[in-house]
């Protein structure tokens, strides 16, 4: 689905993606480059997320999906994982929630929520409950998320419901993914110099435009986002036609 919209930006006619995905990569490498502890990179990355999310909604992005913690990230050190879990909890604090709630943003956490700490699971339930009726924009935070895990859990639901094979098609599978009911992302941005999607929305991104930034996530700015939108605006999306 091509839900992109055009917005005027000076003399340019910039096309803003309706659904934007971001792989926020490079926190640890940024910290090492600046001679800082690894965990400092994650803290700086959270600050960047808040800034970029605000700017996305200001520009007219309606759905923002960010890759915060992958299923593979559980293999990192216990110290780093524990720190990240506390950081995610702070991200969902009352102050941040109040700001997003006032802007009419609905918050969804997608992924294996059952693997998260109980305290964080409780906070997630509260946030999703409070923002559930918001309609101006959507923020999907992918926590303990993996594209393959997403597809597997969808298949398990379909099998459990005993849906006949003749009724199973792409539309039906999409209804059981963690992003059910949402259009696929129009554009996916990855920071950190890597050029792969690393198990992020692999079903949903079949026809997404990809943009790779050489900047590490903590140093990604609003100007960098504008460059990505401009690059996206100059592409022709044919969807195989």
Mean pLDDT, the chain, whole residue set = 94
What are the pLDDT digits (tens) for 89-112?
Answer: 999 987 888 999 999 999 999 999
Alpha helices in the chain (DSSP H): 27-33, 38-59, 78-91, 94-102, 118-131, 147-160, 170-174, 222-233
Q: Tell me the pLDDT band of 12, cut-offs 50, 70 and 90.
A: low
Tell me if residue 25 is catalytic: yes
Catalytic residue chosen out of the listed positions 12, 27, 47, 73: 73
DSSP label at residue 192: S
The predicted pLDDT at position 240 comes to 73
What are the chain's domains? 16-146+185-232 (3.40.1180.10)
Question: Using CA atoms, how far apart are residues 93 and 130, in angstroms rounded to an integer?
Answer: 12
What are the pLDDT digits (tens) for 121-165?
Answer: 999 999 999 999 999 999 999 999 999 999 999 999 999 999 999
Name the pTM for this structure. Answer: 0.94
The predicted pLDDT at position 6 comes to 53
Tell me if residue 94 is catalytic: no
Catalytic residue chosen out of the listed positions 2, 12, 13, 25: 25
């Amino acid at each position: 689905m091509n839900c992109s919209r055009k917005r005027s930006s000076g003399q340019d006619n910039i096309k803003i993606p309706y659904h934007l995905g971001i792989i926020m990569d490079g926190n640890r490498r940024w910290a090492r480059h600046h001679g800082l502890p690894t965990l400092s990179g994650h803290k700086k990355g959270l600050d960047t997320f808040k800034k970029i999310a605000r700017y996305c909604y200001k520009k007219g992005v309606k759905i923002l999906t960010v890759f915060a913690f992958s299923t593979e990230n559980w293999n990192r050190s216990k110290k780093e994982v524990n720190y990240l879990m506390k950081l995610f909890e702070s991200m969902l604090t009352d102050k941040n929630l109040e700001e997003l709630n006032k802007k009419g943003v609905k918050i969804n956490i997608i992924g294996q929520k059952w693997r998260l700490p109980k305290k964080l699971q409780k906070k997630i339930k509260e946030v999703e409950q409070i923002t559930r009726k918001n309609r101006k924009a959507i923020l999907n935070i992918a926590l303990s998320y993996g594209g393959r895990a997403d597809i597997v859990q969808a298949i398990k639901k379909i099998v459990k419901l005993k849906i006949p094979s003749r009724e199973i098609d792409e539309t039906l599978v999409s209804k059981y993914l963690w992003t059910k009911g949402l259009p696929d992302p129009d554009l996916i941005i990855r920071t950190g110099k890597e050029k792969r999607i690393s198990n992020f929305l692999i079903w949903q991104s079949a026809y997404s435009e990809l943009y790779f930034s050489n900047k590490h996530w903590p140093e990604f700015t609003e100007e960098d986002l504008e460059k990505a939108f401009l690059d996206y605006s100059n592409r022709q999306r044919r969807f195989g036609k």
